């Protein structure tokens, strides 16, 4: 059975998407975490406009 580890990251306040890939702070954060093996599995908007993202990866 796979064992998982989890993190919650806070993304910057939402801004309208652009046509350029990885051109927003939020996408840069997600790409950086993804490169370390983290997969976003859930998210929720916070009252201040930021977004909390739950990520998981197989435990080492």
Cβ neighbors of 51 (< 8 A, separation 6 or more) are 10, 11, 14, 26, 43, 44, 45
pLDDT of residue 13: 76
Collect the ranges in the chain with pLDDT lower than 50: none
Taking only the tens place, the pLDDT of each residue in 17-30 is: 667 666 788 888 99
Owning domain of residue 37: 4-15+22-58
Counting the structural domains of the chain, the total is 1
pLDDT of residue 37: 97
Q: Are 11 and 30 in contact (CB under 8 A)?
A: yes
What pTM, to 2 d.p., does this model score? Answer: 0.79
């Amino acid at each position: 059975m796979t064992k998982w580890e989890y993190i919650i990251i806070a993304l910057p306040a939402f801004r309208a998407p652009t046509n350029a890939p990885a051109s927003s702070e939020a996408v840069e954060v997600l790409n950086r975490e993804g490169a370390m093996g983290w997969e976003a599995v859930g998210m929720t908007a916070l009252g201040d406009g930021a977004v909390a993202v739950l990520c998981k990866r197989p435990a080492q």
